[in-house]
Amino acid sequence: MPPTTAELVHDRSLGDLLIHRDVVLDGLDAPQRAARTVLAEILDGKAEDHLFDAMLVAGELIANAIQHSSGAVLIRVEAYEFGAALGVVDRGADITAVPVRPSNSSVDEGTVAASGRGLFIVDSLASAWSVEEIENGKMVIAILPLAAGPRR
């Protein structure tokens, strides 16, 4: 079983925390663009070869917050020596609404689901991801390996 996001952060598998940044997305016309900007600033020179994956994961998490709740409120970006943690906060209180096992297809084998592919992408790119209840909502967190970082 792969490690949880909490285990990776708290057991120091990702190394020392280098940068922590919270960016408010609430009310922005282009929250994904704001997330891409902060990721480029934080990962520049540290993990440029993983920047596209980080931007894709952040974009999918923000899109899910927009589609399935009242919108993304905040993105938390933490860069560690060996990985990055991306957390998207929304006001949705139901953490059970986030599927435990995302899938890329519908119930029928021959068709593709109309939604659900975003978490499938996150699951494919992240070392671990989870959803946590927080005050006034939830946070979906994804851990991305950087050079020499922990992998599944």
Domains and CATH numbers, the chain: 13-100+109-145 (3.30.565.10)
Express each pLDDT in 45-102 by its tens digit.
Answer: 766 678 899 999 999 999 989 988 888 899 999 999 888 999 999 998 877 766 666 5
How far apart, in whole angstroms, are the C-alpha atoms of residue 71 and residue 31?
A: 9
Which amino acid is residue 95, in one-letter code? I
Indicate if the pLDDT at residue 115 is higher than 90.
Answer: no
Structure tokens at 5: 């996001």
Residue 85's CB: how many other CB atoms inside 10 A? 23
